[in-house]
Structure 1
Amino acid sequence: MDNNNGIIPGFDNDKDDSLTISLRKAEGVPHGMFIYLSGYIDTYNSSFFQKQIQKVMDAGFINLIFNCSSLNYVSSTGIGSFTVFLKVVKPKGGDVILLEIQPKVYEVFQLLGFSQFFNIKSTADEAIAYFNNGGTDSGSSVFPLVISCLVCNKKLRATKSGRFRCSGCRSILAINEMGEVSLG
């Protein structure tokens, strides 16, 4: 994936030792780009991250699929960067998908209450299917789902089954594939 400059001229002119960004056009997704992140995003490198992804959006790519499988850490500043991208592409008919997100990174999104704003998928095929279905999930899944915390009654949005931390009382909740909630 050393052809970033071939996709977006000048993309690789700037580097950061803590974050590597690789690009691949998302075949079959209009204005789609896979963005592979490796390393971490924090206060010190978030401006680099935002500047690089701005280059992607300036090149006309508004359906952004971030592969986070090699992303080890995201600070609240890094999450703010993802929020900026979402605010830029949504009015243009685009969207942001986070793919293969690590559990410890997902927990930061969950703790800060941002997991409800982002589309999180497990595979590239799910991401492509989402865009090919006009930005909606196909199938009979009950997700996304709004649940109430069993401890504090706070309303929470779950995008998939699994274990989550309530952003209100910090209790751990488990949600199964049917959308049933238990303490977990």
Structure 2
Amino acid sequence: MSSNNEIVPGFDEEKDESLKIRLQKIEGAEGVLVLYLNGYIDTYNSNFFQKRVNRAIETGFTKLIFQCNGLTYVSSTGIGSFTAFLKAVKPRSGDLVLLEIQPKVYEVFQLLGFSQFFNIKDNIDEAVDFFKKGASSQASDAFPKIFRCPICSTKLKASKPGRFRCSNCKTILAIDNSGQIFLG
């Protein structure tokens, strides 16, 4: 098994006891990286988390699978980190998938309205298949898309991909070719 530093040079330069990350490269799936998360993500360690994952993205891994079964807690700041990763990989034809989210962690995603932004799969095989089939090739049948604003829950309709404002709270939203919605 490869060490983290062999997969992403310098990945383990910093350590944080509250969050351990183990990397696994998927052979035969270019740009796909599994990140096994163990611990919690909060305001105090989210900067550490973002630096580590951004290092992987800069190394060329744009299809990220977060194995979350060892993740016991995520604050709203931690969820903001996942959103930042999504914004970083989307322009590079990437995406991210979350696996095996603990119920109380998933509840935070739902309460903040972010569960609809992320691809959530049951196991690694499903996640790898998602990337091998081409995450963004599911475009044309996604529109028109009716959804709720993640901030104010206003019902909205998008006829095509792009950026627009919520008619109620004026939050800037973006919708990609596959119909996924994210802030910004």
- Residue 10 of structure 2 corresponds to 10
Q: Tell whether 2:132 aligns with 1:110.
A: no
1:139-158 matches, cutoff 5 A: none
Offset at residue 27 of structure 1 (A): 2.1
Offset at residue 8 of structure 1 (A): 1.4
- Residue 100 of structure 1 corresponds to 100
- Residue 40 of structure 1 corresponds to 40
* Unmatched segments (≥5 aa) in structure 1: 139-144, 157-184
Aligned to 2:91, what secondary structure does the other structure show? helix
1: CA distance between counterparts of 2:137 and 2:124?
Answer: 13
Output the amino acid matched with 2:50. Q
Offset at residue 70 of structure 1 (A): 0.2
2: CA distance between counterparts of 1:18 and 1:118?
Answer: 24
- Residue 161 of structure 1 corresponds to none
The answer (yes or no) to whether the contact 1:20–1:37 under 8 Å persists in 2 is yes
1: CA distance between counterparts of 2:155 and 2:110?
Answer: 13
Runs of 4 or more consecutive aligned structure 1 residues displaced over 6 Å after TM superposition: 145-148
1: CA distance between counterparts of 2:74 and 2:30?
Answer: 28
- TM-score, normalized by length of structure 1? 0.73
- Residue 22 of structure 1 corresponds to 22
- 1:6 and 1:103, CA in 2 relative to 1: closer, same or farther beyond 3 A? same
Cα shift readout 1:42-99 (whole Å, capped 9, x = no counterpart): 0000000000001100100000000001000000000000000000000110001001
1: CA distance between counterparts of 2:14 and 2:95?
Answer: 25
- Residue 131 of structure 1 corresponds to 131
Offset at residue 13 of structure 1 (A): 1.2
* Unmatched segments (≥5 aa) in structure 2: 139-144, 157-184
Offset at residue 104 of structure 1 (A): 0.9
Cα shift readout 1:95-149 (whole Å, capped 9, x = no counterpart): 01001111111110000000010000110011011111111699xxxxxx9789x
Offset at residue 28 of structure 1 (A): 2.8
Offset at residue 29 of structure 1 (A): 2.0
Output the amino acid matched with 1:104. K
Aligned to 2:23, what secondary structure does the other structure show? strand
Give the paired residue count. 146
1:67-82 matches, cutoff 5 A: 67-82=67-82
- Residue 160 of structure 1 corresponds to none
Offset at residue 6 of structure 1 (A): 1.1
The answer (yes or no) to whether the contact 1:130–1:136 under 8 Å persists in 2 is no
